[in-house]
């Protein structure tokens, strides 16, 4: 049971990690928590679902469509909701309020147009599982973990080597100095949101396939947010580690204590961590964040 | 001055409307039966079907000359499956002078409505409200004089599930996964455990989760270690589908069993192949051989399948009320309520109805066991407890 719990915890943690990276990416540049991110994930899941069921696309194409669509939405989200605030140099509190507004707006938009019904993805990988020595894990979970790591590695490589990546890292140190050196910050921020949106599309697809698709599914990102804080907001390795730690801890609490106290535990952990380690495990003030 | 005219105009309009109601209420040639039903919102799928079925039955009864030489008139109001709204609806129905009220479908709503009908002395016949507190006042443990129902109650349902597990599925061990935030789920789980142990079975796991939970794998991993014959999941269809899907991920081999909360086509769309071969207790089934005439008529009239089990329970309620009116030869609500209590072996749509005077619940009304097979709900058996 111990190993099974550990494996399950890692599977859950993998999904948290993927979402946490999206949070951290935006935080590293704009220094605020993009609460609208959960709604983008939710819309990504709907896009993938309708692409597969209504248009009959194969799963690979649907994932690509969901990635592209979510990236576009995330980009639009920044242009419509945050860019004017940014130009006026508003404090991050206003960004956060705007983000919450966007989240609630998008959620209600789905309620009003698509409705509150629950949808399940067609069964592609969902019902297969691997078993060895009485430990069982869904193929989808293995796929999710591998894909998460692949996506995060690609992102890491992109940030380390590409011109835009270097500019993003530079901006995460100091946006103003970066701008003074001739970096087009508006374009750069656009790229950050596109990357975060692409991750949202992947997360949405996995969440939808693992559980189901419905208007409030984006609120699971609360957990991703905690994961990002544990790892240190703004740090990508931190987000991944935080996600895995949270997933495993939660699963152990559910299995050995009670699933009822799980969320109480997670949020207590958040508060305690902020008290003793305000910058998380990997977060360093004014040092390399991305 | 303008405001004054506006107020006058409003008062005049109000007077006309009220007077209009008064005329309708004074109509002597009809017997009004109220119907508190959720016609909008999440439960509207069942509510709409319930109303269709009652409309169809009332039409049939009126075509045969009605009751006591008068036509039956159904007064349906939307309660949106909401307790506050339902109380308003009840007050409106009472001012409309209905002789009795059919509905509602939800236990919480029924308990709120019963508080009003008890004072106004109008019988309330709930359709699918399965919580014991609907007909028995929790504080005084006294039966509510004017509250009745045509469905079985949760303890009965839990007993049926446990006896079916031990008798028909030959289960020796069972585990339960329940929603700690839902009275329905928590109590149904308890009733199941009590009866399962009484039948000589062993409970090897009893795990709670919080309402809105999506991932059950942590507790399921624990249950997997205990390897039960049966996993009883007394929840609504959404959680049940996820539990079964995730159990398949973990390689749990137990048979799944649930209550009437599963009875929505969503169980199959959400659960896919993982829900195949599971069983659940329900109030009625469209495949029940006893109700085929009704199903045929309904399909012919509305070009769709009735959404089970609400239409059946509502029609049972209508038959009970009409039988009471005929027996006492009066449309007096108090007399009707007194007669409802005495109903014995009345032939209703789903079988024979006997009301227990002590609790106002039906006495051992057969439950239906349904099986999920090839993406459909199949009628497995009618089940009475021993």
Residue B287: what pLDDT?
A: 86
B361 within domain boundaries? no
Q: How many CB atoms lie within 10 A of CB B171?
A: 22
B360 within domain boundaries? no
Report the residue of B215, B242, B275 to disrupt the A interface, i.e. the one with the largest count of A CBs within 10 Å: B215
Residue A176: what pLDDT?
A: 79
What's the topology of domain A2-276?
ABC transporter involved in vitamin B12 uptake, BtuC (1.10.3470)
Interface of B with A in 247-266 (CB under 8 A): 248-251, 266
Question: What are the residues whose beta carbons fall under 8 Å from the beta carbon of A147, sequence distance 6 or more?
Answer: A202, A206
Residue B22: what pLDDT?
A: 45
What's the pTM value of the predicted model, to 2 decimals? 0.78
B330 within domain boundaries? yes
| A chain contacts of residue B219, beta-carbon cutoff 8 Å | 254-255, 259
B185 within domain boundaries? yes
Question: What are the residues whose beta carbons fall under 8 Å from the beta carbon of A171, sequence distance 6 or more?
Answer: A29, A178, A183, A185, A188
Residue B7: what pLDDT?
A: 67
Same domain for B186 and B70, yes or no, is no
Please state the ipTM of this predicted complex.
0.79
Question: How confident is chain A (290 residues) per 10-residue block, as mean pLDDT?
Answer: 83 86 81 87 93 86 93 91 84 87 90 82 71 76 79 82 84 80 83 90 88 86 85 82 89 86 85 83 57
The DSSP code for A30 is H
The full length of chain A comes to 290
Interface of A with B in 110-129 (CB under 8 A): 116-120, 123, 126-127, 129
Angle, CA B79 vertex, CA B78 and CA B82 arms, to 5°: 150
Residue B55: what pLDDT?
A: 96
**β-strand pairing of B279-282 with B367-373:** antiparallel
Q: How many whole angstroms separate alpha carbon B278 and alpha carbon B282? A: 13
Residue B68: what pLDDT?
A: 92
Tokens of A72: 């576009």
B320 within domain boundaries? yes
Residue B303: domain span: 6-152+290-355
> Are the Cβ atoms of B249 and A131 closer than 8 angstroms?
no
Q: How many CA atoms are closer than 13 Å to the CA of B66, on its beta-carbon side?
A: 12
Q: For chain B, what is the domain count?
A: 2
Which CATH number fits the domain that encloses residue B182? 3.40.50.2300
A38 close to B (CB below 8 A): no
> What crossing angle do the helices spanning B154-167 and B183-198 adopt, rounded to 10°?
40
Same domain for B267 and B314, yes or no, is no
| B chain contacts of residue A120, beta-carbon cutoff 8 Å | 241, 269-272
User: Given the structure tokens 């009893």, which residue do they identify?
Assistant: B206
Residue A238: what pLDDT?
A: 86
**β-strand pairing of B376-383 with B367-373:** antiparallel
A250 close to B (CB below 8 A): yes
User: Given the structure tokens 């220094």, which residue do they identify?
Assistant: A31
A12 close to B (CB below 8 A): yes
B61 within domain boundaries? yes
Tens-binned pLDDT, residue by residue, of chain B (386 aa): 566 666 666 666 665 555 544 444 446 789 999 999 998 877 888 899 999 999 999 999 999 999 999 999 999 999 988 889 999 999 999 999 999 999 899 888 999 999 999 999 999 999 999 888 899 988 888 999 999 999 998 888 999 999 999 999 999 999 999 998 887 888 899 999 999 999 999 999 999 998 888 889 888 988 988 899 999 999 988 899 999 988 988 888 899 999 988 988 788 888 888 899 999 999 988 888 889 999 999 999 999 889 888 999 999 999 999 999 999 999 999 999 999 999 999 999 988 899 999 999 998 788 899 999 998 888 888 888 77
């Amino acid at each position: 049971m111990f190993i099974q719990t550990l494996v399950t915890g890692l599977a859950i943690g993998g999904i948290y990690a993927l979402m946490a990276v999206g949070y951290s990416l935006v935080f590293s540049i704009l220094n605020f928590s993009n609460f609208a991110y959960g709604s983008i994930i939710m819309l990504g899941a709907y896009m993938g679902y309708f692409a597969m069921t209504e248009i009959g696309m194969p799963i690979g194409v649907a994932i690509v469509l969901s990635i592209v669509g979510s990236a576009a939405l995330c980009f639009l989200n920044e242009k419509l909701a945050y860019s004017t605030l940014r130009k006026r140099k508003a404090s991050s509190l206003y960004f956060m309020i705007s983000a919450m507004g966007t989240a609630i707006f998008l959620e209600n938009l789905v309620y009003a147009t698509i409705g509150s019904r629950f949808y399940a993805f067609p069964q592609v990988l969902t019902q297969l599982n691997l078993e060895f020595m009485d430990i069982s894990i869904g193929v989808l979970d293995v796929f999710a973990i591998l894909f998460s790591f692949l996506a995060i590695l690609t992102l890491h490589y992109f940030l380390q080597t590409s011109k835009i990546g270097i500019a993003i890292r530079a901006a995460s140190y100091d946006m103003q100095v970066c701008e003074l050196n001739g970096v087009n910050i508006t374009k750069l921020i656009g790229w950050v949101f596109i990357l975060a949106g692409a991750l949202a599309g992947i997360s949405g697809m996995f969440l939808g396939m693992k559980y189901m698709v419905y208007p409030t599914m984006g609120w699971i990102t609360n957990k991703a947010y905690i994961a990002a804080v544990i790892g240190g907001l703004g740090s990508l390795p931190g987000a991944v580690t935080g996600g895995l730690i949270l997933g495993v801890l939660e699963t152990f609490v559910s299995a050995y204590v009670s699933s009822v106290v799980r969320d109480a535990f997670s949020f207590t952990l958040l508060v305690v961590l902020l008290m003793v380690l305000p910058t998380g495990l990997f977060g360093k003030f004014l040092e390399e964040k991305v | 001055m303008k405001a004054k005219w506006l107020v006058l105009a409003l008062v005049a309009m109000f007077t006309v409307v009220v007077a209009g109601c008064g005329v309708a209420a004074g109509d002597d040639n009809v017997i009004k039966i109220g119907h508190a039903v959720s016609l909008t919102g999440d439960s509207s799928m069942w509510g709409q079907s319930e109303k269709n079925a009652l409309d169809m039955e009332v039409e049939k009864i009126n075509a045969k000359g009605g009751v006591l030489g008068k036509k039956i008139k159904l007064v349906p109001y939307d309660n949106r499956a909401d307790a506050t709204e339902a109380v308003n609806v009840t007050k409106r129905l009472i001012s409309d002078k209905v002789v009795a009220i059919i509905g509602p479908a939800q236990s919480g709503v029924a308990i709120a409505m019963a508080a009003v009908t008890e004072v106004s002395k109008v019988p309330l016949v709930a359709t699918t409200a399965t919580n014991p507190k609907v007909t028995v006042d929790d504080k005084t443990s006294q039966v509510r004089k004017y509250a009745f129902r045509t469905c079985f109650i949760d303890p009965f349902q839990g007993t049926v599930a446990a006896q079916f597990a031990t008798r028909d599925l030959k289960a020796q061990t069972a585990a339960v996964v329940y929603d700690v935030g839902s009275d329905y789920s928590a109590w149904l789980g308890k009733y199941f455990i009590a009866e399962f142990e009484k039948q000589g079975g062993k409970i090897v796991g009893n795990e709670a989760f919080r309402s809105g939970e999506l991932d059950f794998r942590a507790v399921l991993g624990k249950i997997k270690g205990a390897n039960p014959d049966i996993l009883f999941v007394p929840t609504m269809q959404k959680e049940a589908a996820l539990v079964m899907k995730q159990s398949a991920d973990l390689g749990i081999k137990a048979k799944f069993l649930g209550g009437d909360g599963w009875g929505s086509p969503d169980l199959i769309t959400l659960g896919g192949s993982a829900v195949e071969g599971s069983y659940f207790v329900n109030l009625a089934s469209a495949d029940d051989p006893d109700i085929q005439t009704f199903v045929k008529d309904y399909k012919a009239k509305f070009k769709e399948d009735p959404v089970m089990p609400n239409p059946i329970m509502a029609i049972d309620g209508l038959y009970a009320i009409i039988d009471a009116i005929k027996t006492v030869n009066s449309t007096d609500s108090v007399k009707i309520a007194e007669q409802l209590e005495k109903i014995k072996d009345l032939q209703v749509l789903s079988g024979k109805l006997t009301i227990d005077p002590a609790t106002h619940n039906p006495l051992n009304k057969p439950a239906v066991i349904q099986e999920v097979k090839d993406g459909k709900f199949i009628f497995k058996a009618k089940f009475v407890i021993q």
